Structure 1
Amino acid sequence: MPLNKPVRRKLHHTRQVQCQGFEREDGLWDIEAHMTDVKTHSVDNTERGYVDAGEPFHDMWMRLTIDKTMKIHQVEAEVDASPFRHCPGIAGNFRQLEGTRIGPGWHRMTREMFSGIQGCTHLHELLTPLATTALQTIWPILAEGLTIERITEKMLDSCHGWSSQSEFVRQYVPHLFVEADNTQPNTSET
């Protein structure tokens, strides 16, 4: 179901992020993201003169090569368009992710690694959809042979859909179901 009809408006900016997951013939996986920012009007830019309507203001790529344990073997980042000439120089810093493993605490670690002048806001933003795409790409392989119970134990309380209080858990793995605590503390004064 789409969003409600908005008030009349005029489009000014479009950000597109496309992610894809590929199985390689060497047993590794390439997870790729491409992000563009495009405006519907020309924008003055000190270093580029101006960025014409429809021309990418940002055009950035990132590839994580991972194994099925989510360990990152190689990182490649490219900046094809940016507001400043020196922006592409930071792309190589993202190779610091090589050897890390996507999992609990990984996003926190990446925020620390690439905060401020040590990173690029836009390349760093690609890490979240890349991690999600990696999981969605590899999950069916990881889940092969696992029972619904084992899958649920791994995913339990990782998001709203896998809540231990959900009807899904109640129906399929009832021993992991937790009744919601609907009691509200009484905050009214007497």
Structure 2
Amino acid sequence: MPLPQPKVGRARAHRRRIEVQGFTRDDGLFDLDARLTDQKDLDYPLSTGVRKAGDPVHDLFIRVTIDGTFTIVDVAASSDWVPYPGACGAITPAYRQLIGLNLVRGFRRTVGEMFADVRGCSHLTELLLSLPTTAIQTFATFRKENDDGAEKPFQLDRCHALETTSETVMRYYPKWYRGDAAD
């Protein structure tokens, strides 16, 4: 269900787009390509000059390559449009520090610590926060949703709807249901 119509007139002032895509690679690894774009609907004065309406204020990219265990094996970052050319993009090599981290084991917390304040670009760091769930969705493309195997399906107990005491789990994953009926 979409949001309700606004009750008062309004005019858009800013648009942020975040897009993340998951790719399989010929070498068995996976790429997650993420992009963040900020645009203004009016000419926007910056200290470095006026950004014309519709031109990006930010257009940032990060590619994270992961293996089948969600471990990061390579990173590339790029800052194509930034408010402070020559300064903003200078931090992109720092994101190679992500190599060796695992996307599903404390990744968001670690990223927040590693790139807080002046140790990173707030926009690139924010963009990284979408990667764990994108990786899970990318891997899910190739896995049976309700596998009857010995291991609990990965998605259980990772979101509200799939908490193992929920009605949803009782209905769709009865083997893993641990509510009152399972006692």
Per-residue deviation, residues 124-176 of structure 1 (Å, max 9, x unmatched): 01112122111110124355894277344x33321111112321212232563
Per-residue deviation, residues 87-127 of structure 1 (Å, max 9, x unmatched): 00001110000111111311111100000110011000111
List gaps (5 residues or longer) in structure 2: none
Residue pairs, 1:97-176, within 5 angstroms? 97-141=98-142, 143=144, 146-147=147-148, 150-152=151-153, 154-171=154-171, 172-173=173-174, 176=177
Amino acid in the other structure paired with 2:136: L
Residue pairs, 1:64-83, within 5 angstroms? 64-83=64-83
Partner of 1:186: none
TM-score (normalised: structure 2) = 0.89
Partner of 2:12: 11
Rg larger in 1 or in 2?
1
Per-residue deviation, residues 31-83 of structure 1 (Å, max 9, x unmatched): 10111000000111112x11110000000000001111111110000000111
Q: Percent identity?
A: 39
C-alpha RMSD of matched pairs (Å): 1.9
SS at match of 1:133: helix
Give the Cα separation in 2 of the matches to 1:22 and 1:140: 11
Tell whether the 8 Å contact from 1:143 to 1:151 is kept in structure 2 after alignment.
Answer: no
SS at match of 2:162: coil
Amino acid in the other structure paired with 1:4: P
Relative to structure 2, which stretch is displaced further, 158-167 or 51-60?
A: 158-167
List gaps (5 residues or longer) in structure 1: 180-190
Amino acid in the other structure paired with 1:32: D
Task: Note if 1:37 corresponds to 2:38.
Answer: yes
Return closer, same or farther for 1:148/1:14 CA change in 2, 3 Å cut-off.
farther
